[in-house]
Amino acid sequence: MENKILHQPAEFKSNQEVRWCPGCGDHAVLNALHKAMSELGIPKEKFVVISGIGCSSRTPYYMNTYAFHTIHGRAAAISTGVKIANQDLTVFTVTGDGDALAIGGNHFIHFIRRNLNLNMVLLNNRIYGLTKGQYSPTSEEGKITKTSPYGTIEHPFNPGELVLGAQGKFFARSMDTNIKLQTEIMVEAAQFVGASVIEILQNCVIFNDGAYKNINDKETREDHQIILHHGEKMIFGKNRDKGLVLDGFKLKVVTIGQDGYTMDDILTHDAHCQEPFIHMMLINMAYPDYPTAFGIIRAVKGDSYGVKMDQQTAEIMAKSKIKCMDDVLNSGDTWEVK
Amino acid sequence: MENKILHQPAEFKSNQEVRWCPGCGDHAVLNALHKAMSELGIPKEKFVVISGIGCSSRTPYYMNTYAFHTIHGRAAAISTGVKIANQDLTVFTVTGDGDALAIGGNHFIHFIRRNLNLNMVLLNNRIYGLTKGQYSPTSEEGKITKTSPYGTIEHPFNPGELVLGAQGKFFARSMDTNIKLQTEIMVEAAQFVGASVIEILQNCVIFNDGAYKNINDKETREDHQIILHHGEKMIFGKNRDKGLVLDGFKLKVVTIGQDGYTMDDILTHDAHCQEPFIHMMLINMAYPDYPTAFGIIRAVKGDSYGVKMDQQTAEIMAKSKIKCMDDVLNSGDTWEVK
Amino acid sequence: MLPKISEKLIIKIMAEKKYQNVDLEDVVIRFSGDSGDGMQLTGTLFSETSALVGNDFVTFPDFPAEIRAPQGTVGGVSGFQVHIGHQPVYTPGDYCDVLIAMNPAALKANRRWAKKGAIIIINSDEFTEKNLQRAGYKTLNPIEEDKLEDYNIIFAPINELTKEALKDSDLDQKSILRSKNMFALGICYWMFDRPMEHTIERFEKKFAKVPAVAKANIETLKAGYNYAENIGAFKSTFEVAPSEQQPGKYRSINGNTATAWGLAAAAERAHIQLFCGSYPITPATDILIELTKLRSLGIKALQVEDEIAGICTAIGASFAGSLGVTSTSGPGLALKAEASGLAVITELPLVIIDVQRGGPSTGLPTKTEQADLLQALYGRNGESPMVVLAATTPSDCFYYAFQAAKIALEHMTPVILLTDGFIGNGSEPFRIPKMEDLPEIHPHYADPNDTNYQPYRRDPKTFARYWAKPGIKGLEHRIGGLEKMAITGSVSYVPENHAIMVEERAEKVRRVVEDIPDQEILGDQTGDILMVGWGSTRGHLLTALKTLRKEGKKVGMAQFSYINPLPKNTEDVFKRFKKVIVFEVNTGQFVSYLRSQFGHLDFLQYDKVQGLPFTAIEIVEFVNKMMEE
Amino acid sequence: MLPKISEKLIIKIMAEKKYQNVDLEDVVIRFSGDSGDGMQLTGTLFSETSALVGNDFVTFPDFPAEIRAPQGTVGGVSGFQVHIGHQPVYTPGDYCDVLIAMNPAALKANRRWAKKGAIIIINSDEFTEKNLQRAGYKTLNPIEEDKLEDYNIIFAPINELTKEALKDSDLDQKSILRSKNMFALGICYWMFDRPMEHTIERFEKKFAKVPAVAKANIETLKAGYNYAENIGAFKSTFEVAPSEQQPGKYRSINGNTATAWGLAAAAERAHIQLFCGSYPITPATDILIELTKLRSLGIKALQVEDEIAGICTAIGASFAGSLGVTSTSGPGLALKAEASGLAVITELPLVIIDVQRGGPSTGLPTKTEQADLLQALYGRNGESPMVVLAATTPSDCFYYAFQAAKIALEHMTPVILLTDGFIGNGSEPFRIPKMEDLPEIHPHYADPNDTNYQPYRRDPKTFARYWAKPGIKGLEHRIGGLEKMAITGSVSYVPENHAIMVEERAEKVRRVVEDIPDQEILGDQTGDILMVGWGSTRGHLLTALKTLRKEGKKVGMAQFSYINPLPKNTEDVFKRFKKVIVFEVNTGQFVSYLRSQFGHLDFLQYDKVQGLPFTAIEIVEFVNKMMEE
Ligand SMILES: Cc1ncc(C[n+]2csc(CCOP(=O)(O)OP(=O)(O)O)c2C)c(N)n1
Ligand SMILES: Cc1ncc(C[n+]2csc(CCOP(=O)(O)OP(=O)(O)O)c2C)c(N)n1
Ligand code: SF4
Ligand code: SF4
Ligand SMILES: [Mg+2]
Ligand SMILES: [Mg+2]
């Protein structure tokens, strides 16, 4: 979809000094968000950015739109109120792995289930940045942090998996460094009708530097990342000669031209498929056995709460004889005192 | 596993008058719980029953064990504290669809992720019973309730799906009326090391009567329910001639002897398979296209938080020179004032 | 000490006793039976018919503990008390003149509420050995066991008579028995000379599609009426004369509905969209339920995943330009504490309704109490002042909800409105206002053409900041939970600025005092004792006030609805009396708040924490005692 | 009004000024630099070395706002103030005698804290045009711009000198520059004649595996020391004489560590397992961190999914027989409100720690405030009384945490312990107690052989119920959040029972008074003015007290740590003075609580809400002013 550009990305920057650490992945995400807003061609005043608390959640201050830096874990719930109050607004909910999946876990799953037309950008650095380095629900097991001096003993959530468990319709993933992909995804997410979750693998240079080194090392990343596009073959690798095929109930990495695999054997990405199973497998692919999947992994149509709410309201308004509070007050049994 | 029975089921009944409505599905679940406790052969005083708030959550009062009727939505978190404090105890967490999945949603997903050796019995009547009939996160879309006079516009959660999205290791399902199956499941859940969730489809005769009529009608239920057992063929039906086969990425119901299907084609249930995809499909099977799946759908080994915690603690205790508070107080830099 | 039945209510109990008509000023009737017996409906119909013939009334439903106890047990008894009068009545009555007990459990649970010598109508068919046992009677003679010999008891075989009345009906036995409450209602209609037409019409309308049901109800009603006449049981001439009621159109309303409607009315007067995010909780759920019914007015009322989401969605809606509202009870208010602080610092309009119930913790969910006052005032981290109001009767919940919304919108502040289970569930006649007669509301909007909008610039008069709705070009801005720089609203850690902002937020709340009326004194304007109450104790205090003044005492009464800020003349009000007694259904929360503000004044206190409202009688007794001391 | 630098601190600033040794009683040094400059470590090393030579000290770290601001900006400045004395010192000092500013932003942010004429050591290499601009200076002459002409400023090219000192090092430039803070430390060591050995040893131990790093630090430290000597800069003879300190073994401790250890000590003395469920939040996180380190003692400290899970896991652990603890700050306390009511009604032992910070809402997370007092007292639904304590200094956090646990376990009640960012992060010497000298703790266990255990039977003396751990045969029982029948604990809706239980829960908390000491008065035991404080204001009040009494004023001081219940003699304490002034870092919460309890007494108040502790100076001024009025 081509949109008429109303504002340049720079116009979305607020005059506040950006206070993230130099080198923090958040900077790139902010850039991408500014770009996406520009590309969406929506007037500045129609955007609302809502966040919780965390480094990532500082984003609202850097937006020259309407924006609200709320409280820890509640960004999803507050966004829900904003959107229901005014469906004309394009709302981005910016949150972190702690904000969304620890304290905010309940609003997160209901945000997904309700499927309002909201767009969540989840900056997953697998750590609590703002509070200076405690483990988060996405920290890998065994991780030593300030609150786990002997290593954590918890399985991390995989955000995409949880999204699917809550019946999510739109899930995408990007590396923080890939501004182009993020921008693309953000634009599509905003245009998608329903709740979208965009997981950004974000590097916290201070407390979890190198968390994604395995998959994002410049030298090898093409072999460890697969960027999916709907309708395109699932291929990757420096030489674009690796691909994914289905092997019973598992995905398998093959090299085209080896073991008899040809391009035809390679799966074609279908982001629109209602059945979640392949999406789930793609989401679960992990280093070192698999490339990590990026791009829009799932984007399936579903009824949006907001649309249904508006339809229902319109019907009720059309049908009901109760048009104003005088009608309400005088409805039912009444009597006159003279 | 055969256990030595120490107490008869009746010994698990407390002297409190049971206050559920006559005909409520909760009565049967209570019976099953008493039976399972008896069969487990664990001394009465080693059981703890923890609940939140709701009709279902009244269970603690009817137990002649240690029991705690806590606050709305927090049963999972409180159980976590109980179990970590004393891993010797066998803890049953009894909750409702509102208690566990509305207000308690965050503790629910973390309960599962953490994978402590806890056993949750989730009585899903798809309604708020105690507060007299509002929709719950499992109420079917369009349902008219006190707070949805025009019908809800929300997709319901499927609890099992959410369990899998949170990386659940044990999920089982039973009808409230099937005391035998429930008892079996509860016994296995208690013996399983890790967090288990048992969803009971429970009829609320007052506010949601007949919610499961489609699948539990006496006449037709054998055609609408499939009871899964690990290692056994997935067959069902009045005549035990229907079965499930895999058809591409979908399950398909076939009749043995028709269209060339033989018993060999029918899938064998593997509850222990790590990959969640088939379990997810089984959980998602819904009336009228599919039979509803019952029994232990998933039971895969995983590290339990409690076990890991104990191991880690033992190692640390063995290795550390800090044995008591005097050691702590005198550790590091100190100086003497004379 | 149980009061004696009004001596004027002399009745003929049995055929052998002499028939006599008596005048009554007011009468209290308590319907009670099993949860399934339809007592709430019966009571409501009686109240409404009474209103139609011009009586004033106040009702109080007494629900069973939240779980449906097994049939026939005391735990499962449902009661409904109604107080009717041809003079204004202010409470549902302390004790009842007539008690209807549909089964032994109902008698067991409610006999304590019957005045000495009261009429007790018993459904004798239910007084079987098994049922008596279930109700916890130890003998087969409840009359003797409960020492009811001096009461006027009517044994009516209501089950049998209902079956008899409906012997030609097509309904099955179970359905037939379901109308037995109408038999009881019929008896009462005859006793108090109420017309049946209105009720009959109602059934015809309600059950238009199932005429058999309509007919069953109507036939049974008539049968009860005739039965009472036939046995010549008793009859009071309850004079019908709506003397002091203001002329106008009336309806019956309970506090929760009134609250919901008050909010909706405010939204209409403010030309703003109302958004309510709530989570069900007894006894507040009905506010959400009533609001969900008003979707045709564009009102969006949502059941969300928990109380925190309730307030957070409301804050989000307020940020987006709606009037955000959230309704709950005590435990839910506790959960909203953190987010309510966000509303304080972002200075968004927000109304939080707390329908108080017995605590602590889950406590007594179906019982009433006033014990969330200090939580409402102080239950947030940091210095976070909030406006706190309290409604005093079912019908004025409408006006205080309206007022709460008005203050929130005009002063840009969250407001907590306290009601409770007593007035939330209780009902009374409500004079229907015309919307155009209600005050206008002017939300404190920013000028959409402001080219230099600053989110924390304040109105010099009220200190309210200006509200800019997303969507308006040029007013883009950012707010949040961190301390903010005065005027610009950007994040600030400057020490002096923090002090300024703390003070400005407090001052803004204090200045609300300019928009609220002076505290009114009822009764004597100066004298020996001032009875002070707040919120829902109004009816009982007022009843006591009338009694005391009839006795010639110099007593005044001040019922507070504005808790924070307190009305300007508050101190003056207290100083007009020799003694000030604060009455509360808690252990003294308002009095401790008053003491913290007016340290130099002396306050006496009378508290009650039984999950029940006061009785007017205990108030009178205490005032008299203090009079003597 | 800024105080002048101690006149005794006369120093030779530059070569041309005359060298002179002076005696100092106490001195305040403030290290400041960019977040990455290691100022916290520098300050800590200086404090510890001072302690080793026998000085008393109090420190206060002043962290930057929680996000790392870009290098060189005022937002990113990190400060650490230490007050050392050879007499006891009670506060980190109001203003500093020596300020180290590692870059222009540090100067900009901290010059307000320097006494008139203070020594300011500036890293001149960082005072480039770009950096000055970044820091917000408008000119190239910060001295003039900030009006610092009368200050004693030393421009030291620290970057260059550090590079020079390490020119033979194998480290890269970046790593080399990282030790520049040691250069500053070296200067200070020379100035105040501190030995370097201890610090050198520390580096050798800490960096045993990277000797190059150890060496770099040590060399730079020495270079700074020598530089100061070489430029003959200045030197004070800061007398080393630990006069009033009790003999014993000491360590440095901050309040959060002390709190964690106090809890652990209590668990050990009670022979019970400690369980802590918490969620990170500034400035409380360190308590959790410290507890997680103590796993070898069997302590289970867990980071859970949110604050609600924190308190709920703790309640679960308490039910299971552990000492349940949860630690948080204001917003987290708000979230725990509902669950804390469950602990009240189930009467389980539980310790809730609230390390207060600036509010409302997210407020000023890294700044200190005392504004959660009323929330702690009243922030729960229903009548839910709780014990509330407040620690007064970093080291006595240990004893109050211990005491909180003792009360919880012996009285079967939740206890809230209030500390704050000021004492939580601040540190001071701590005389290490022997565990055997600490009081024993006797949890209020049920008799395991009780054949008729009743969960709500009470100890007639304390009103505590008896605690039965799951696992014990025969003591099986059920508890919950609904109101319960006295003694049996089964659910009860009986009105009179509710009144009894409300009263018993309150009485149980009141009776804790029997186990707490009388309120102590420091200074004059009777006189003109009593200065009242609570919690962390102790040091500033005490400093002011000393000054005032030196001036000959009749002044006493009462610092409260027991907030609910208040000590028995509280009223008597107030009555001994003509005037009582309550000092608080909020808008008057404790004073409003006191007024609500002692309405007939008069209280004056002095409040400050700047996210900062008091200064002793402002206290002295206010007391003097009140003296005159
Ligand atoms: C109620 C509450 N609890 C805790 C905190 C402290 N806190 C602030 S941010 C944060 C975690 C942030 O982690 P994440 O969302 O991953 O954000 P990041 O800083 O990593 O971007 C915590 C625990 C808070 N501000 N409020
Ligand atoms: C904090 C809080 N919010 C709300 C409630 C009211 N409440 C009690 S139970 C319940 C829902 C129960 O639903 P469910 O868990 O499905 O249990 P059921 O009664 O259906 O068995 C609600 C909303 C409460 N007790 N506490
Ligand atoms: S602490 Fe980590 S997440 Fe936060 S701003 Fe710095 S690099 Fe980014
Ligand atoms: S209301 Fe429903 S769930 Fe509750 S006890 Fe009755 S039947 Fe059971
Ligand atoms: Mg993070
Ligand atoms: Mg339910």
- Percentage of chain C beyond pLDDT 90 is 76
Question: For residue C51, what pLDDT is reported?
Answer: 87
As given in the structure block, the two tokens for residue D7 are: 């006149």
Question: For residue D6, what pLDDT is reported?
Answer: 36
Whether the predicted pLDDT of D18 surpasses 50 = no
Question: For residue D22, what pLDDT is reported?
Answer: 47
Query: What is the spatial distance between Cα A272 and Cα A282, in angstroms, rounded to a whole number?
Result: 14
Q: List CB contacts (< 8 A) between A71 and chain D.
A: 331, 361-362
pLDDT tens track for C480-518: 999 999 999 999 999 999 999 999 999 999 999 999 999
Whether the predicted pLDDT of D609 surpasses 60 = yes
Query: What is the spatial distance between Cα C268 and Cα C261, in angstroms, rounded to a whole number?
Result: 10
> What are the pocket residues of ligand 2 if the criterion is a CB atom closer than 6 Å to any ligand atom?
B 53-56, 72, 96-99, 123, 125, 127-131, 136; C 279-281, 307, 331-332, 335, 362; D 338
Question: For residue C384, what pLDDT is reported?
Answer: 97
Pairing of strands D323-328, D387-390: unpaired
Alpha carbon C411 to chain centroid, angstroms:
27
Question: For residue D19, what pLDDT is reported?
Answer: 31
- Tell me phi and psi for residue A255, to 5 degrees: -110, 125
Whether the predicted pLDDT of C14 surpasses 50 = no
pTM of the predicted model, to two decimals?
Answer: 0.94
CATH code, domain with B161: 3.40.50.970
Cα dihedral value D485, D486, D490, D494, nearest 10: -10
B256 assigned to some structural domain:
no
DSSP secondary structure of D582-604 = EEESSSSHHHHHHHHH-TTS--E
Q: For residues B333 and C541, which has the higher predicted lDDT (pLDDT)? A: C541
A216 assigned to some structural domain:
no
Find, among A119, A124, A164, A121, the residue nearest to A140 by Cα.
A124
Question: For residue C4, what pLDDT is reported?
Answer: 42
Cα dihedral value C447, C451, C457, C461, nearest 10: -40
Question: For residue C244, what pLDDT is reported?
Answer: 64
Question: For residue D418, what pLDDT is reported?
Answer: 98
Residue D8, number of CB atoms within 10 A of its CB: 12
Q: What share of chain B is helix, strand, coil (3-state, %, to 5)?
A: 35, 20, 45
A332 assigned to some structural domain:
no
Whether the predicted pLDDT of C12 surpasses 60 = no
As given in the structure block, the two tokens for residue B71 are: 């606050």
**If you count residue pairs, one on A and one on B, with CB atoms under 8 Å apart, how many are there?**
98
Find, among C198, C117, C114, C125, the residue nearest to C158 by Cα.
C125
Question: For residue A40, what pLDDT is reported?
Answer: 97
Please tell me the number of Cα atoms within 13 Å of D583 on its side-chain side.
29
| A132 contacts D331? CB cut-off 8 A | no
Whether the predicted pLDDT of C233 surpasses 60 = no
As given in the structure block, the two tokens for residue D352 are: 């809730």
Pairing of strands A90-96, A47-51: parallel
DSSP, res D103: S
Whether the predicted pLDDT of D23 surpasses 80 = no
A3 assigned to some structural domain:
no
Question: For residue A308, what pLDDT is reported?
Answer: 95
Average pLDDT score over residue span D160-166: 92
Query: What is the spatial distance between Cα A15 and Cα D455, in angstroms, rounded to a whole number?
Result: 62
pLDDT band at A2 (very low <50, low <70, confident <90, very high): low
Question: For residue C63, what pLDDT is reported?
Answer: 76
A161 assigned to some structural domain:
yes
Of the partner residues D380, D506, D595, the one whose CB lies closest to the CB of residue C596: D595
- Tell me phi and psi for residue D152, to 5 degrees: -95, 100
Q: How far is the CA of D64 from the centre of ligand 1 (A)?
A: 17
Of all residues in chain C, the one with the smallest CA distance to B57 is: C67
Q: Which domain holds residue A43?
A: 9-211
Question: For residue B286, what pLDDT is reported?
Answer: 95
Query: What is the spatial distance between Cα A258 and Cα A253, in angstroms, rounded to a whole number?
Result: 11
A124 assigned to some structural domain:
yes
Question: How distant, in Å, are the alpha carbons of C2, C95, C148, D85 from that of C108?
Answer: 16, 15, 11, 76
Show which of residues 57-96 on chain A sit within 8 Å of chain C, judged by CB atoms: 60-61, 63-71, 74, 77-86, 88-89
Find, among C17, C426, C430, C87, the residue nearest to C238 by Cα.
C87
DSSP secondary structure of D477-531 = -EEESB-B-TBT--B---HHHHHHHHHHHHHHHHGGGGGSPPPP-EE-SSEEEEE
pLDDT tens track for D66-89: 556 678 888 889 999 999 987 888
pLDDT tens track for C610-622: 999 999 999 999 9
As given in the structure block, the two tokens for residue A9 are: 């990305």
| B153 contacts A309? CB cut-off 8 A | yes
Q: For residues C411 and C238, which has the higher predicted lDDT (pLDDT)? A: C411
Question: How distant, in Å, are the alpha carbons of A222, C113, C188, D298 from that of C24?
Answer: 93, 19, 15, 74
Query: What is the spatial distance between Cα D62 and Cα D51, in angstroms, rounded to a whole number?
Result: 21
Of all residues in chain C, the one with the smallest CA distance to A12 is: C476
Whether D75 has its CB under 8 Å from any CB of chain A: the answer is: yes
Question: For residue C234, what pLDDT is reported?
Answer: 61
pLDDT band at C6 (very low <50, low <70, confident <90, very high): very low
DSSP, res B96: E
Find, among D360, D422, C278, the residue nearest to A71 by Cα.
D360
Element (H, E) at C28: strand C26-34
As given in the structure block, the two tokens for residue B42 are: 């664990």
Pairing of strands D350-356, D323-328: parallel
Per mean pLDDT, which range of C261-265, D139-143, D561-565 is the poorest? Answer: D139-143
Query: What is the spatial distance between Cα A82 and Cα A95, in angstroms, rounded to a whole number?
Result: 16
Rg over CA atoms, chain D: 27
Query: What is the spatial distance between Cα D264 and Cα D270, in angstroms, rounded to a whole number?
Result: 10
Q: How far is the CA of B228 from the centre of ligand 5 (A)?
A: 41
The size of chain A, in residues, is: 338
| C380 contacts D379? CB cut-off 8 A | yes
Whether the predicted pLDDT of C146 surpasses 60 = yes
Whether the predicted pLDDT of A18 surpasses 50 = yes
Question: For residue C161, what pLDDT is reported?
Answer: 92
In chain B, how many domains are there? 1
A318 assigned to some structural domain:
no
CA-nearest residue, atom 6 of ligand 3: A21
Q: How far is the CA of B130 from the centre of ligand 4 (A)?
A: 7
Q: Which residues of B touch A (CB under 8 A)?
A: 103-106, 109-110, 113-115, 137, 150-151, 153-158, 161-167, 249-250, 275-278, 280-281, 302-303, 305, 308-309, 312, 316
Quote ipTM for the complex: 0.95
pLDDT band at C247 (very low <50, low <70, confident <90, very high): confident
In short, whether B99's Cβ falls inside 6 Å of ligand 4 is no
Whether A329 has its CB under 8 Å from any CB of chain C: the answer is: yes
B1 assigned to some structural domain:
no
In short, whether A176's Cβ falls inside 6 Å of ligand 1 is no
CA-nearest residue, atom 5 of ligand 3: A20
Average pLDDT score over residue span C54-67: 79
Find, among B105, B109, B113, B78, the residue nearest to B93 by Cα.
B78
Residue D490, number of CB atoms within 10 A of its CB: 20
pLDDT band at C323 (very low <50, low <70, confident <90, very high): very high
Find, among D293, D268, D323, D272, the residue nearest to D435 by Cα.
D268
Find, among C554, C596, C552, C557, the residue nearest to C574 by Cα.
C557
| D367 contacts C382? CB cut-off 8 A | no
Average pLDDT score over residue span A148-176: 97
Q: List CB contacts (< 8 A) between B55 and chain C.
A: 67
Per DSSP, the three-state class of D467 is strand
Question: For residue D236, what pLDDT is reported?
Answer: 62
As given in the structure block, the two tokens for residue D366 are: 């890294």
Mean pLDDT of chain C: 91
pLDDT tens track for D436-463: 999 999 999 999 999 999 999 999 999 9
C422 and C536 Cβ atoms separated by less than 8 Å: yes
Question: For residue D153, what pLDDT is reported?
Answer: 85
Query: What is the spatial distance between Cα B150 and Cα C291, in angstroms, rounded to a whole number?
Result: 12
Whether the predicted pLDDT of C64 surpasses 90 = no
pLDDT tens track for A46-101: 999 999 999 999 999 999 999 999 999 999 999 999 999 999 999 999 999 999 99
Query: What is the spatial distance between Cα A188 and Cα A207, in angstroms, rounded to a whole number?
Result: 32
Q: Dihedral sign, CA of D601, D602, D606, D607?
A: positive
Which residues have C-beta within 8 Å of that of residue C17, sequence separation ≥ 6? none
Task: Please provide the distance, in angstroms rounded to a whole number, between the alpha carbons at the two ends of chain C.
Answer: 22
